[in-house]
Amino acid sequence: MQVNENFKPVIVAFCCNWCSYAGADLSGTNRLNYPANVKIIRVPCSCRVNPMFILRAFQKGADGVIICGCHPGDCHYTSGNYFTRRRITLLYSMLDFLGIERKRTRLEWVSAAEGAKFASVMEQFVSDVQKLGPNRRLEDLRCRKQ
Amino acid sequence: MQEAMIKRAVQLLADGTVNRVMGWKRGEFVYDITPAVFTTAEELEKDFVCDDFTQANLSKYLVKESRKEGKILAFLKPCDTYSFNQLVKEHRIIRENVYVIGIPGGPKLDIEKIKAKGITGILSVENENYTLKIETIYGTETMPFSEAVSGKCSGCKSKKHVAYDELIGDDGEVLDSNRFDMVAKLENMTSQERFDFWRGELSKCIRCNACRNVCPACTCENCVFDNPKSGIDQKAAADSFEEKMFHIIRAFHVAGRCTDCGECSRVCPQNIPLHLLNRKFIKDINELYGEYQAGADTTSRAPLNNYNADDCEPSVVHERGVE
Amino acid sequence: MQRIGVFVCHCGTNIAATVDVKAVAEALGHEAGVVISQDYQYMCSESGQNLVKNAIKEHKLTGVVVCSCSPRMHENTFRKAAASAGLNPYLVEIANIREQCSWIHKDIASATEKAIILGRAAIAKVHLNTPLTSMESPVVKRALVIGGGIAGIQTALDIAEAGFEVDIVEKEPTIGGKMAQIDKTFPTLDCAACILTPKMVEASQNEKITIHSFSEVSDVKGFVGNFTVTIKKKARYVDETKCTGCGLCTEKCPMKKVPNEFNMGLDNRRAVYIPFAQAVPKVATIDPNYCMMLKNGKCGVCSKVCSAGAIDYKQTDRFVEQKYGAIVVATGFNPIKLDKYDEFAYSYCPDVVTSLELERLMNAAGPNGGTLLRPSDKTHPHTIVFVQCVGSRCDDGKGKQYCSKICCMYTAKHAMLIREKYPDTEVYVFYIDVRTPGKNFDEFYRRAVEQYNVHYIKGMVGKVSPKADGKIDVQASDLLAGEQLHINADMVVLAAAIEPDKTARPLATMLTTQMDTNDFFTEAHPKLRPVESATAGIFLSGACQGPKDIPETVAQASAAAAKAIGLLCKNSITCNPCVAHSDELMCNGCSACEKVCPYGAITYQDKEFRMPNRTTAVRRVASVNPAVCQGCGACTVACPSGAMDLNGFSNSQIMAEVDAICK
């Protein structure tokens, strides 16, 4: 596949406040570079991420959506990420079933101590989406920037 | 069957057990069946029908009916009792206010399949030993019963009533259906093929909301698609994505709650196989989190409101099927 | 119309080196609703904060966006600044342009572009922010301790010491728990009763402590600071207020053949009994399963001999309702049942005993008065085999996967005590590993091996077979020597795994606290909050949270007490206002939210609603208790109708951020 080097995918990352958002902060503190395409939205827990948010992001032109939460068993709210895991697994499976490229969606567990993991996950994800090219299958054309 | 049902309904009205009866009545044509509430013996004897066309799932109507004064009698087919149970479990139907008579299920007939044979001007349809004798204004036509069976009945999951106060006819068993075959077939296509398939199907959507309005799992007081505050309210399908968004969110909202009654596809005027979306969730839930049949009981925990510490990771999506 | 102020921080050069802060301030100044957009060197400094405060007053701001470091650093700083300038603190949003922008990007153009987008997202969010106020919820200054073992006693004593009323609910007729049954304690070998019974007396005499013995918790309602608990006081057929504990009834009762549970069924008690001499409260209890009077109305001896007139055959279960601010769970443990372990002959050979039974056999107050005799023929055993990990560290599904933690040490203690008292006895210990971390623990174990010549053999016992001559053949493997052994033993002692008490599971449901798959209570954080449950106001003490020895239990008991005291000290608690709330008009009452709430914060009511045509309808609707909700948001996604939303992170706020980023 032809990879368009000039294509800068829009990536929305939902990060839980207690682990992944802190992990993202740590990768900053450690000056670990990852692509500027990634824009983080802070949520209290990964279980706050409603499938509607993910679809909305795609509708408004995101090329990839990633959710980051505490490792299973480490949820600040004890069980939130377990619910996330089921919901998001099923949602991603449905998107795949509808023919949406599976590498546009991702769920990762990143702890507050894993700054390096956060950076490498983002690096990898952006590169995967870069290869896929712009999101055509799920974008709402009306909302596209002229 | 119909006579037995009317007889029992009249009895229960007479002895005061119930003050209303939920059933079906006929419209302009024999196959034009609509759910109806009857309050007197006369109405029942005049209009009540139960035949090869009475497919409609009555459970959803009981959400409102069970909140009215007095008890209502409802005739439920096996598949309808699953929806009924699910709604009882979600506190949507008040169980004490419903008297359930379980009646045998289908297979029921799909008029569109008869019309598809070029048969028009239909006056009556009789089933004689699994051959349909169809009287039309142009004369009598015949066709095999099996060729006119409704899509919702061809993948029947169960002939067993999971909720009833009494039965008319015999109870059946849970069936070993092949209802996931089409989902599996799609799973084995490539991503592009699946996209093309669904674009082809969903682009037919006219956003009439019939699927939502008939769905016994869609009983929200105020649907997110009608609520301007939800941020996703939509009235019309202006483009391909909005159709997808509607159907994905609807399928997700009923995931783990959908009993696979098949009403969504039955009522779709565009014949979109919407039940495949729900079946995809059911198939995934069964495979990933253990067999679960929504509505089989009123106490079990819905799979999306439950978890196991050792549930599979979402990467399973990447590992299965074809990209 | 919104009036939003944007404040872009340079953070010295931390931000300004890679983000063109002036360009960011300029670009964000053009966003809808923004009336002032400024940059400053150190926004968190006093003069920076003053800049924000003055702008709030001068421009009558309705919202503030600070583009600076992570909200985890200074969100509170700026919220406080806003509050002091008269703006609701929850109308402040932070755009993280340091940790998540300037520090990770090197290219000024792209970092500046990203900073502008992050700023836009924050502005989009703040447009939808609503003023939030923290609720205050009063604290009832009384604690409940569930379980009266050493953990519960210690917790109660510590809380009482701090000046608060404490109630202990104990299901047995006496407090004391497992420790009361133990003979000596490791690693000091002092007598358990000698250190426990004074504490039991202290608890009973402390005027702040009320002991509900022979009682159970039957219902819990409410939330942190304000629990309402119903305690079931089981009928003991003896008036506690009248009984003097003289014990005459327990001597005269004709029903002599009741297995004595305190001595693990190794001897008998009467139908009316006091579990042991130092019981607290020292009050008799009639066992209705054996009492002839209660069973068929024929007897009445105890009533005749009781000069205090305390016997009351008509007594029934009583229910007491009490309010508490804090609840401490101390339900403890039990050894597992060994009926699945046929290979050890436990169920049919009386000389195969569990370690807790051995404690009673060796105890001066036990069935043999402290002389170790075989239960079968009351002879002195000369060869004793200890089997470790019976049901612990099991993967076969019969036992528990975890290590019971205390067995290695108590077995070393047993072996040592036996060798000390009966030097002619050979003692063998079969083990998988010997685990003795802890102060003076390994030294203790080595003394058993080196000074007392206890034979420690690495290997598992395969089969225990009683022989016709009364001896027991123990077949085992010695893994280090690589050989099969047959030991001709007189007694076999099984170190049975320990498990949480069976009452814990229903209790956890009542308390809406979490448990792990083994039924141990789950702590709020495994490292940082080990004595709190995830449910606010519920604390964990002792082995209900995981296997523990006595020193650890006592330490945790005091820690739980400290946490409870910390709560009880407050007159009211300030609640986090970023909690879920349900829109009644949209709620279906389907209970999905309740199922995913880890805190039990959601309840349902039937409410009457106005409907069209002057009618009304009653609907079941959810309501969230803001004092209990911790704001995770799990319910908001479980809710299909979107009735449930989260303050501070509402659906529309997050969606506005999404839109701003994807624009």
| Residue among B90, B227, B231 whose CB faces C590 most closely | B90
Q: Is A13 on the interface with C (CB under 8 A)?
A: no
Same fold, C142-234+317-332+501-568 and C334-499: yes
Do B217 and B318 have their domain in common?
A: yes
Chain B residue at shortest CA distance from A93 = B317
- Structural domain of A63: 11-135
Q: Are residues C21 and C81 in contact, defined by beta-carbon separation less than 8 angstroms?
A: no
* Residue of chain C nearest B304, judged by CA positions: C638
E strand or H helix at B9:
helix B2-14
Residues B280, B204, single domain; the answer is yes
Q: Are C332 and C178 in contact (CB under 8 A)?
A: yes
Top-level class of domain C580-647: alpha beta
Q: Is residue A25 part of a domain?
A: yes
* Distance from C-alpha of C385 to C-alpha of C494, rounded to nearest angstrom: 9
Minimal CA–CA distance to B31: which of B105, B114, B107? B114
Where chain B has pLDDT below 70, the residues are: 234-241, 321-323
- Measured CA to CA, the distance from residue B40 to residue B20 in angstroms comes to 8
Domain identity same for B203 and B115? no
Query: Domain residues for B1?
Result: 1-107+159-176
B288 close to A (CB below 8 A): yes
What pLDDT is attached to residue B127? 86
Partner-chain contact A22 C72, CB within 8 Å: yes
Token code pair at residue C319: 């229910």
DSSP letter for C207, please: T
> Are B54 and B202 contained in the same domain?
no
Within-domain flag for A141: no
- Same-domain status, B116 and B250: no
Residue type present at position C496: A
> Are both B96 and B61 inside the same structural domain?
yes
Q: Does A136 touch chain B (CB under 8 A)?
A: no
CA distance from start to end of chain B: 50
Find out whether C198 and C277 touch, Cβ atoms under 8 Å.
Answer: no
Q: Note whether B242 contacts A: Cβ–Cβ < 8 A.
A: yes
Greatest CA separation for chain B? 65
Percentage, residues of chain A above pLDDT 70 = 92
Chain A hits for B294, CB-CB cut-off 8 Å, are none
Give a yes or no: residue B153 inside a domain.
Answer: no
Q: Of the candidates C430, C431, C499, C461, which has an alpha carbon nearest to the alpha carbon of residue C342?
A: C461
Residue B246: its chain A contacts at CB < 8 A?
Answer: none
B304 contacts on A by Cβ (under 8 Å): 83, 86-87, 90
How far is Cα B3 from Cα B24, in angstroms, rounded to an integer? 13
Query: Is A98 close to B255, i.e. CB distance below 8 A?
Result: no
Q: In total, how many domains does chain B have? A: 3
List of chains touching C (3+ CB pairs within 8 A): A, B
Residue C206's closest CA among C245, C180, C246, C167? C167
- The contact set of B with C (CB < 8 A) is 67, 90-92, 219-224, 227, 229-231, 253-254, 301-302, 304-306, 309
Q: What is the CA radius of gyration of chain A?
A: 15
User: Is there a domain that residue A45 lies in?
Assistant: yes
Whole-structure pTM value:
0.76
Residue B126 lies in a domain: yes
Per the CB < 8 Å rule, is B92 touching C641? no
Other CB atoms within 10 A of residue A4 CB: 11
Integer angstrom CA distances of residue C293 from B301, C298, C302: 47, 5, 10
Q: Which of B222, B234, B258 to mutate to test the interface with C (most CBs of C within 10 A)?
A: B222
pLDDT at A145: 46
What span, in angstroms and rounded, lies between the C-alpha atoms of B199 and B92?
34
CB pairs under 8 A between B and C: 58
Q: What is the ipTM of this complex?
A: 0.95
Class (C level, CATH) for C334-499 = alpha beta
A33 contacts C104? CB cut-off 8 A: yes
pLDDT of residue B322: 63
- Tell me how many domains chain A contains: 1
**Domain assignment present for B293:** yes
A22 within some domain: yes
Domain ranges of chain C: 4-128, 142-234+317-332+501-568, 248-305, 334-499, 580-647
Task: Report CA C403 to chain centroid distance, whole Å.
Answer: 19
Token pair for residue B278?
Answer: 């729900």
**Amino acid of residue A137:** R
Flag whether B15 is in a domain: yes
Whether residue B89 is found in the same domain as residue B182 = no
- Residues C396 and C389 sit within 8 Å (Cβ to Cβ): no
CATH number 3.30.1180.20 is the correct assignment for the domain at C142-234+317-332+501-568: no
Nearest by Cα to A97 from B185, B294, B288, B240 = B185
- Whether residue B100 is found in the same domain as residue B129: no
Range 48-107 of A in CB contact (< 8 A) with B:
51-52, 55-56, 58-59, 72-73, 79, 82-83, 85-103, 106-107
Task: For residue A85, give the chain C residue with the closest CA.
Answer: C634
The C-alpha atoms of residue C541 and residue C153 are separated, in whole angstroms, by 10
Half-sphere exposure of C459 (CA within 13 A, CB side): 21
Q: How far is A15 from chain B (nearest CA, A)?
A: 16
- Asked if B90 lies within 8 A of C585 by C-beta distance, the reply is no
Closest Cβ opposite residue B249 in set A52, A140, A142: A52
Per DSSP bridges, beta strands C142-146 and C165-169 are parallel
pLDDT band at A73 (very low <50, low <70, confident <90, very high): confident
Identify all chain A residues contacting B192, using CB atoms and an 8 Å cutoff.
99
Quick one: CA dihedral C410, C416, C422, C425, positive or negative? Answer: positive
Number of C-beta neighbours around residue C425 at 10 A: 17
Q: How far apart are CA C30 and CA C177, in angstroms?
A: 71
Give chain C's residues under pLDDT 70.
Answer: none
**How many angstroms separate the CA atoms of A46 and A34, rounded?**
21
Which of B148, B168, B199 is a domain's end point?
B148
Chain B hits for C591, CB-CB cut-off 8 Å, are 90-91
Q: Where are the alpha helices (DSSP H) in A3-134?
A: 20-29, 51-59, 80-97, 115-132
Residue B87 CA to residue B298 CA, distance in Å, equals: 9
Tokens of C628: 């209990």
Q: Are residues B223 and B253 in the same domain?
A: yes
Of A72, A107, A142, the CB nearest to B309: A72
Instruction: Examine the domain organization and report whether B85 and B201 are in the same domain.
Output: no
- Residue C192 near residue C180 (C-beta atoms within 8 A): yes
Would you say the C-alpha torsion B14, B20, B22, B28 has a positive or negative sign?
A: positive
Q: C4-128, which class in CATH? A: alpha beta
Q: Is B314 on the interface with A (CB under 8 A)?
A: yes
pLDDT of residue A146: 40
If phi over 0 gives left and psi between -120 and 50 gives alpha, with beta otherwise, what is residue B321? left
- What kind and span of H or E run contains C126? helix C108-128
DSSP string, B174-197: B----TTHHHHHHHTS-HHHHHHH
Looking at the fold, whether B97 and B142 belong to one and the same domain comes out as: no
Residue reference for tokens 């069957």: B1
Q: Are residues B90 and B101 part of one domain?
A: yes
Q: What CATH number does the domain containing A49 carry?
A: 3.40.50
